[in-house]
Amino acid sequence: MASARDVLESVIKRMSVFKNKEVLYPEYIPQHLPHREAQLKQLAEIFRVMLTAPGSVSMRAMLVGGVGVGKTVTARVFGSTMRSLARERGIDLRYIHVNCHRDRTLYEVVAEIVRQIGAPIPLRGLSPREMMLALLNYIERNDIYALVTLDEFDYFVSAAGNDAVYFIVRLYDEYPEAKKRMSFIFIARDLSALSQLDPTTESYILKHVIKFDPYTSDELFDILVQRRNAAFYEGTVDDEVLRYIADMEGVDRGGEGNARAAIEALLLAGEAADYEGAQKVTIEHVRKALSHVQPDIVRVSEILPYLQLHELLILKAAIRVLRRKGEAYARIGEIEEEYRSICQMYGEEPRKHTQVYEYVNNLKKMGVIEARVSGKGFRGRSTLVSIMAPLDALEKQVDSLIEKRRTANRKRLL
């Protein structure tokens, strides 16, 4: 029988089809964005004033489109390029990217902007407005400009409310004497959440809207060719494999037009080939990958890294209860009982019922779970929770993130 060392060495020494797997990860930012040149040009038209007449005006743009259509990567590439162009002109322009799934309140958003700029401003004891005023004074003294992207902005609208949004988008109304050193990009999946705002604030946001349509199969093929050439050894992935994925995901072929799902399918197909010791990625490997890349799990997997530890523990409890019951919905009371058991298993202090209910509402707002009040067929009124994503795949991701959170918490206590 092989020893553990033998097993590990056999895997480590095995040849791989990958030369740079990181190119296929969601956080990778390519230098070239196929089929998003038009959106980059629109952004350049809106924000060119930051280079031609810095400080004269604060600009805003709204990027709108579904999951995996390139909004975030386009904003990041644009921000990085703008910073380089500004540096060539002697302008200190910082690009700040805030994800509003993680930073959900006005305080958290302003604090994250302060942190990324590196301003020595105390984050405790100050209100968001006091922090922002201190930040504006800091960037004025140090001749800094900032292009700030608020990603998942529709969630910030729902979670933080009209007053917080008004403060952000009408920042220089509150500080009219300040030089206009900060401009904003907002990213949203759709504009429906903006209906919660007052008409003046909504119209202010919608002055410059840039739309991102789902990718066609031909567009996805071009994206996959770019990633294949950078991620895999030459000759390990044929064009027909890429075309198969592109046709499965392309909006013109009945797919979601989701580049992130297509790239993840390519990644999983390559991993399947490595697992089998194959020298080439085949369409059969892709079929195996596509069985795991379902829209719900792809969408939810983007949100999971921004969940707090106890939100992850509650999500794990919901997964366990739903799997055990074999039904579409589980009562919040059942989930809370399972959550307390999981907390005991991990040595974590469980939160009280009101906090648990708030976490469930947050998970619902983010689209991780479905939750509704029970109706006919249920005794009494209770909140019912359901999960659309495949439970086994979801729980693996949740378990991994729980361990990361707990490890990080332990390190902070040392």
* pLDDT given at position 306: 87
Per-residue pLDDT for 376 more than 80? no
Whether the CB-CB separation of 265 and 245 falls below 8 Å is answered with yes
Q: Are strands 330-331 and 383-386 parallel, antiparallel or unpaired?
A: antiparallel
pLDDT of residue 379: 56
Q: pLDDT: is 180 or 13 the higher one?
A: 180
Residue 135 has pLDDT above 90, yes or no: yes
Considering the segment(s) 303-413 as one domain, its CATH architecture is: Orthogonal Bundle (1.10)
Answer whether 0.85 is exceeded by the pTM: no
Tokens 């797919």 locate to 255
Structure confidence at residue 343 (pLDDT): 95
CATH code linked to domain 215-293: 1.10.8.60
H/E segment holding residue 397 = helix 391-413
User: What residue ranges do the domains of the chain occupy?
Assistant: 37-211, 215-293, 303-413
For residue 414, what pLDDT is reported?
60
- HEC states along 84-133? HHHHHCCCEEEEEEEECCCCCCHHHHHHHHHHHHCCCCCCCCCCHHHHHH
Considering the domain 37-211 in this protein, what is its CATH number?
3.40.50.300
Q: Mean of the per-residue pLDDT values for the chain?
A: 89
Which residues are annotated as part of the binding site?
A: 69-73, 215, 227
Q: What is the dihedral of CA 245, 231, 218, 214, to 10 degrees?
A: 80
Binding residues for ATP: 69-73, 215, 227
pLDDT 10s digits, 271-284: 999 999 999 999 88
Helix 37-47, helix 71-88: angle, nearest 10: 50
pLDDT in tens, 43-61: 999 999 999 999 999 999 9
What are 321-370's pLDDT values in tens digits? 998 987 778 999 999 999 999 999 999 999 999 999 999 999 998 888 88
**Considering the chain, what percentage of its residues have pLDDT values greater than 70?**
91
Confidence of residue 176 (pLDDT cuts 50, 70, 90): confident
